[in-house]
Amino acid sequence: MLAVTYGGRYARYDYLDDRGLLSPRVSLTVSPAEHFRISTMLSRRAVAPGAEEFNPRIESGVWLPPQRTFSSLVASHPLEAEYTNHVEVEAERDVATATVSIRAFHQHVADQLATLFGIDVPGAPAAHLGHYFITNAGDVDASGLSAGVRAAIASRVHGSVEYTVTRARWTSGGDAVYAMLLLAPSAVNAETNRI
């Protein structure tokens, strides 16, 4: 058996220099034997700075847009989108009513977004009025492995357990990092981390 799925999302933000953001995704699943599957997935996700603030609530009825405003932490740097490239390979084996899986993945985040709340900067709207700052803090590379098991215990009871180990490395993003070190030093971590 061979299954291919694909899709994507396109979003447009007028406040970005590069207004159109495309987020494609494709996955391939091969079943070389009964009850055994190998899958791979490739994706690229584009996130605009502050985009989550514009998502309307799911509730019906009248609602007001968010009262928060944001701007670039470094005035001379325009706001840029964050891009995440994700690659993973997974093997699954059905054992009785359970499925056992192992997975390896790698992510590269270019221009990772950092959002800073509660910081007052001269010449900018006050933090207590809901203003916050966004900047591109640098790049992140993360790789990891996971193992898991999931099962249908009863017709309406399903359970799963997964253990993941990840190793990540951050690369500085230039001037924005110096501003973050001055205003929010706890937001900067230049070490390799194992999570």
- DSSP assignment string, 42-80: EEEEEE-TTGGGGPPPSS-S-------EEEESSTTS---
CA dihedral sign, ordered 113, 51, 47, 59? positive
The mean pLDDT of 104-111, rounded to a whole number, is 96
Say if 175 falls within a structural domain: yes
**Quick check: is 32 in a domain?**
no
Q: How far apart are CA 24 and CA 162, in angstroms?
A: 26
The number of domains in the chain is: 1
pLDDT band, very low/low/confident/very high, at 153 (cuts 50, 70, 90): confident
User: What tokens were used for 14?
Assistant: 């007028």
In a domain, residue 26? The reply is no
Instruction: For residue 6, tell me if it sits in a domain.
Output: no
Residue 90 has a pLDDT of: 98
Question: What tokens does 56 get?
Answer: 């309307």
Residue 5 lies in a domain: no
Give the H/E segment covering residue 78: none
Three-state SS at 183: helix
- Per the domain annotation, does 141 fall within a domain? yes
Spatial distance between the Cα atoms of 133 and 141, rounded to a whole number of angstroms: 24
Question: Cα–Cα distance between 63 and 53 in angstroms, integer?
Answer: 13
Average pLDDT taken over every residue of the chain: 86
How far apart CA 93 and CA 96 sit, in angstroms, is: 10
178 secondary structure, DSSP code: H
Domain that holds residue 156: 44-53+66-194
Amino acid at 86: H
Structural domain includes residue 23: no
**pLDDT value, residue 63:** 61
pLDDT higher than 90, residue 185 = no
Where residue 161 falls (left for φ over 0; alpha for ψ -120 to 50; beta otherwise) is beta
> Would residue 82 count as lying in a domain?
yes
